[in-house]
Amino acid sequence: MASILFGLVVTDARGKLGGHVFTKGRSGNTLRTKGIPTNPQTAAQQAIRAALGALSSAWRSLTEAQRASWNSAVESFMKTNVFGNSYAPSGKNLYVSLNQNLSNAGQTAIESAPEPAAVSAAGLSEFNINLGFMAMQLAWADTTTGQTVLVFVTPPMSAGKYFVKSQYRLLTTAVQSTASPLELWTAYVARFGTPVEGQKVYAKVIPINNTTGQAGVVETISAIVA
């Protein structure tokens, strides 16, 4: 699915055109290829759907006052689409987004909208993989308290591969203030198997504020297996 920025001649579009479908949401206009939906029902997909379903159910269980707090807070949590245009999420989307971050970080869910808070970037500084020592260490420089780092990694891949956006998988979490350097070898091998010398692995970290659920700057780094 691709985002679209219309011009002066064509200002909007909806519905199907040839093999494509035009849609519009809070983040702007999008264009996707029309196709037959597939549903492989992987364990990871089912877990994500279950988590989102639980949050949607929890939203309906909130009091009117709690839902109102989320609906009135959206202007304080503006987002930016790929064209640099700002938009406000819905109250429900904000609730689900922040609480999903808190759930991934192992933190308690919040029922009322929080006040926005600063989230410090982890400051990735080093990523090393050593077959001989069976070690995979990820290090960052920032030691801000009250934040949890979500650590995503890719499977082992060829050293020449650079486009890996869809390959990241959440591997573990860590306390940002004390866990660097973080040893990932055991968890990585259990998930993807032992990498081969010369392969490349990418890592991505997202810091989460443990109180508000806000996500910080996404940072990526890669290492060649040695």
Q: Judge if 94 and 144 occupy the same domain.
A: no
128 and 210 share a domain?
yes
Rounded to 5 degrees, φ, ψ at 105 are: -85, 0
Look over the chain and give the mean of its residue pLDDT values, rounded to a whole number: 89
For residue 109, being part of any structural domain is answered with no
Q: Could you tell me if 157 and 199 lie in one domain?
A: yes
* Claim to verify: residue 210 and residue 154 sit in the same structural domain: yes
- Tell whether 100 and 171 lie within a shared domain: no
Q: What is the mean pLDDT of residues 182-193?
A: 98
202 versus 52: which is more confidently predicted? 202
Q: For residue 100, what are the domain limits? A: 43-104
Residue type present at position 169: R
104, 132, 152: which is the final residue of a domain? Answer: 104
Distance, CA of 69 to CA of 72 (rounded, Å): 5
- CA–CA distance, 223 with 130 (Å, rounded to integer): 10
Q: What's the structural domain count of the chain?
A: 3
Confidence category of residue 80, pLDDT binned at 50, 70, 90: confident
Co-location of 55 and 28 in the same domain: no
Average pLDDT over residues 50-76: 93
Q: Is residue 84 part of a domain?
A: yes
Structure confidence at residue 51 (pLDDT): 80
Q: Say whether both 28 and 52 belong to one domain.
A: no
Judge whether 64 lies within some domain.
Answer: yes
Interval 56-66 mean pLDDT: 95
Q: Do 82 and 133 have their domain in common?
A: no
Tell me the pTM.
Answer: 0.80
Sign for the CA dihedral angle at 5, 11, 13, 18 comes to negative
Is 113 part of a structural domain of the chain?
A: no
Instruction: Give a yes or no: residue 116 inside a domain.
Output: no
